[in-house]
Structure 1
Amino acid sequence: MFGIYLKRELGRRKKAALVVALGLALGIALVITVNSVSAGMTQAQDKVLRSLYGLGTDMTVTKARTAPTANSSQGPRFEFDASSEEDEEQSSDRVMTQGGQALKSSLVTKVAGQKGVAAAVGALTLNVTKVDGSFTQGKAQSDSGQSQGQGGPGGGQGGGGTAAPQVQGGGAAFDVNSYSVAGVDVTNQDLGPLATSEITSGTTFTAAQADAAVAVVSASYAKENSYKAGSTLTISGTKYKVIGIATPDSGESATDVYLPLKQAQTLADAAGQVTTIYVKATDSQQIDTVKATIQKNISGTTVTTSADLAETVSGSLSTASDLATSVGKWLSIAVLAAAFLVAALLTSSAVSRRVREFGTLKALGWPSRRVTRQVVGESMVNGLLGGALGIALGLAAAYTVTAISPKLTAQLGSAGGGGGMGGGPGGGPGRQSAGSTLEIALSAPVSVTTIALAVGLAVAGGLVAGAMGGWRASRMRPADALRSVS
């Protein structure tokens, strides 16, 4: 009886039922869309942090550089042979540590021994500036245009002219190329600069290559300079065999060249030193506690966590994330509340127009609870129908966002201290001080939890509407039906 009457009444009031269902559907669809976009924002931020921070890395330990003294020279110095043969190619490399002040390698062991630390590895960040080119000597010529010999600006006078000869032509043409190098602890590559990259060609380092003249280069740097596995890379006169090409998990690689840590220390004349210590905690929920422990027991260092780094991310990704978190969620709550209120008012209004019907049913012996159950049952069906439509609309919106994949930019500033933290020289202790920009494609993943939330909202909407309408229907008396008869 309940089902038959329910089906007949919903069939008689298709338009009213559709209006209620659509109102709930719009609210539920907006909730799904906002939740899925927020989840996409979180994933995008995780990609940004991971590209700089290192998969599995919970924090980094660095040390701020001391201010240079008045008599110290911090600029690069290059030396060339001016007496070389004309047009002879010359080259000079300047290798400098980058990021924070150098730390003793013994600190890596000390950090690893702190309570709450699962593992710690050191890395050395370098910047190599390569200058290569050639000199061309000028020629001294008299006013008559006849060559009087070769020489520099102080060349002597020719024998045939009264005026001093002038040097014409000559000069120098040099190219400057700067790239980043990371010294990697080859015994633990799951933590540190290489943790965010995958070897897509060749092989990675082995434990036996701790001091071997081998290198892994990033995919972008390899493409730019036509490197491949088996090629030779020369830095400061040392030839390194390229054994692998590393492709980052997301974004662009912040490091161009990876070397075994001992080789990088030799290049920079920094034996037994590192610039960054990458730390993995035993419990991800105790990162702040571990940070405080390291700072307390190892003075003078700066410990930076992923939360600290997240505060330095700006750009359209940060702006969109803030909008999705604040405006989007509050807007979805407001729309959903309005949809619930409209559904309740429409249901209550429908009950008011059914005075004769419910009064007659009560006169025939229907108790108030049965009338209430009938109204609640109709509202629940409307709510479930609205939930189904809302889920369909929400999934369509999320799929559209994923298909379009709008590009968001993340500008990364310094996290303070010794240059911040990161997955390599470009993203953390290297270029972090100057900032860098990553481009991330936004997606809108829909989780099972979001679908369950939508179903719950549909049921809740039906119950709210049914409760108001049922309460009003239960208060009707058979006499009300008789008074409505004309």
Structure 2
Amino acid sequence: MFFTYLRRELRRRRKAALVVASGLALGIALVIVVNSVSSGMSKAQEKVLESLYGLGTDMTVTKAAEAQSETAGERPRFQFDAQDDDSGEEQSSDRVMVQGFQTLASSTVTKVGKQDGVADAVGGLSLQVMKVSGEFTRGQFQQDGQSGQGGQGGGPGGGQSSPEGQVEGGGANFDVNSYSVYGTDVTEPALGPLTSSEITDGRTFKTTETNAEVAVADSAYAKEKELETGDTVTVKGTKYKIIGIATATSGDAAANLYLPLKQAQTLADAKDKVTTIYVQATDSQQIDSVKSGIQKNISGTTVTTSADLADTVSGSLSTASSLAAGVGKWLSIVVLVAAFLVAGLLTSSAVSRRVREFGTLKALGWKSGRVTRQVVGESMVQGLIGGALGIALGLAGAYAVTAVSPTLQAQLGSGSGSGGGMGGGGGMGGPGRQTAAKTLDVALTAPVSLTTLALAVGLAVAGGLVAGAFGGWRASRLRPADALRRVE
């Protein structure tokens, strides 16, 4: 009886039911789109942060460079041997410098790894290489004036010869090239800056190549220098075989060249030293407490989390994220509340027009509770219909955003890192890369999660309950005598 009466009433009043369902559908669709876009913003921001940090990294530990160090103001010096037979022969000299931060002892990596809440910790060494290469060319001495017979000092029939002359030609032609090198711990391939790049040619390091003379080149740098897998690059007199080409999955690469950590330490004369410690927490919910513990137990260090880096992201990505989180969510809430109120008022108004109907049913023996359940049941069906329409509209809106994929810009300004590198294309891995502002283009998507769909269903049910509460309260107050006084 309940379902039969329900079906007939909805079919008889299908226009009113469609209006209520459409209002709820618009509110639910807006909630789905806003939540999906917000989720897309979060994923875009995570992608930007991974380009700085490396996949799986929750925080980094560094030590800010001293304002006045022993080498402050020291300029790079390059020495060349000038021999008589060096004319036309190419000479080169490299200067390898630690970049961005003060170095930390490798033992600090072990100490960080033993902190509560730390799942893994690995060190890395950021370097900048300045390479000067070129050749000297000997000049030719040209004598001026005329020489007398008999040579110098006078002689029979001769005059004085002029010793004056000048050197013509010769000189030096040298090129200065600056690039970045990153020493990575090959025994921990799942953590560190190289994880933000994908090996597109060749292979990555083997865990046994801790001190091997091998290198992985960034694809942009390899293209610029026309390097391929199997070629060699020379750094400070040591030849390294390129075993792979890595392409950054988002933004710029952490470095132009990646070397095993021990090799990088040898080049920089920084044995057992690192500049950045990459940390992975056991629980993402405890990152703040892990950060506090590291700062307390390891003095003088700066711990930077993904949340800290997120505060440095500006540009259209940050603006759109703020709009989605602020204006978008509040707008969806206002529209949803308005839809609930309109549905409730329409249902209450419909009950008022059915006074004779409900009064007659009560006169036939229907109790107030049964009448109320009938009204609530009708409202629930309208809410579910509105939910289905809302989900369909929301999915269509989210798909449209993903299909268009508007490009947002994320500008990474100066953060907690200090120091900075010179030139060199790739910059630094870890927080040190914040020192040079740059802009990344990120395509926006709007993924719809099961949680969002479950929220939509819950809102549909809630909308039906709100509308049913208005109508049920109005129907429960009707008396059988009202049916005799009301003529329709």
Equivalent residue in structure 1 for 2:471, among 461, 469, 472: 469
- What residue is the counterpart of 1:98 in the other structure? 99
The RMSD of aligned alpha carbons is: 2.9
Deviation at 1:464? 0.6
Deviation at 1:398? 0.8
Superposition pairs of residues 2-401 of structure 1, within 5 angstroms: 2-68=2-68, 72-79=72-79, 89-133=90-134, 174-401=174-401
Give the 3-state SS of the residue equivalent to 1:33 in structure 2.
helix
For 1:106 and 1:460, the matched residues in 2 are separated by 58
For 2:282 and 2:77, the matched residues in 1 are separated by 45
For 2:185 and 2:30, the matched residues in 1 are separated by 48
Query: In 2 relative to 1, CA 71–369 (structure 1 residues): closer, same or farther, beyond 3 Å?
Result: closer
Deviation at 1:43? 1.2
Which range is displaced more, 293-302 or 447-456? 293-302
Deviation at 1:395? 0.4
Aligned AA for 2:216? V
Aligned AA for 1:254? A
- Report the number of matched residues: 466
Deviation at 1:93? 3.0
For 2:196 and 2:70, the matched residues in 1 are separated by 40
- What residue is the counterpart of 2:155 in the other structure? none
- What residue is the counterpart of 2:159 in the other structure? none
Query: In 2 relative to 1, CA 233–345 (structure 1 residues): closer, same or farther, beyond 3 Å?
Result: same
For 1:382 and 1:411, the matched residues in 2 are separated by 47
Deviation at 1:175? 4.4
Q: Deviations over 1:57-109 (max 9, x none)?
A: 22222111112369842443445678887765554433211111112222222
Identity %: 72
Query: In 2 relative to 1, CA 297–370 (structure 1 residues): closer, same or farther, beyond 3 Å?
Result: closer
Residue pair 2:416, 2:431 contacting (<8 A) in 1 also? no
Which range is displaced more, 68-77 or 91-100? 68-77
Residue pair 1:63, 1:103 contacting (<8 A) in 2 also? yes
Query: In 2 relative to 1, CA 158–262 (structure 1 residues): closer, same or farther, beyond 3 Å?
Result: farther
For 2:262 and 2:308, the matched residues in 1 are separated by 30
- What residue is the counterpart of 2:453 in the other structure? 451
For 1:28 and 1:280, the matched residues in 2 are separated by 38
Residue pair 1:126, 1:425 contacting (<8 A) in 2 also? no
For 1:87 and 1:14, the matched residues in 2 are separated by 94
Please report the TM-score for the alignment, with normalisation by the length of structure 1.
0.87
Aligned AA for 2:11? G
Deviation at 1:194? 2.0
Residue pair 2:233, 2:240 contacting (<8 A) in 1 also? yes
Query: In 2 relative to 1, CA 218–70 (structure 1 residues): closer, same or farther, beyond 3 Å?
Result: closer
For 1:482 and 1:262, the matched residues in 2 are separated by 97
Residue pair 2:182, 2:257 contacting (<8 A) in 1 also? yes
For 1:18 and 1:170, the matched residues in 2 are separated by 92
- What residue is the counterpart of 1:147 in the other structure? none
Give the 3-state SS of the residue equivalent to 1:208 in structure 2.
coil
For 1:306 and 1:419, the matched residues in 2 are separated by 20
For 1:81 and 1:234, the matched residues in 2 are separated by 19
For 1:117 and 1:381, the matched residues in 2 are separated by 51
Residue pair 1:220, 1:252 contacting (<8 A) in 2 also? no
Give the 3-state SS of the residue equivalent to 2:101 in structure 1.
coil
For 2:35 and 2:256, the matched residues in 1 are separated by 37
Residue pair 1:112, 1:120 contacting (<8 A) in 2 also? yes
Aligned AA for 1:448? L
Q: Is there any run of 5+ residues in structure 2 with no aligned partner, and where?
A: 148-163, 421-425
Deviation at 1:133? 4.6
- What residue is the counterpart of 1:434 in the other structure? 436
Query: In 2 relative to 1, CA 3–86 (structure 1 residues): closer, same or farther, beyond 3 Å?
Result: same
- What residue is the counterpart of 1:142 in the other structure? none
Aligned AA for 1:105? S
Aligned AA for 2:405? S
Q: Deviations over 1:346-394 (max 9, x none)?
A: 1111122222222233233332222222221221111111100000000
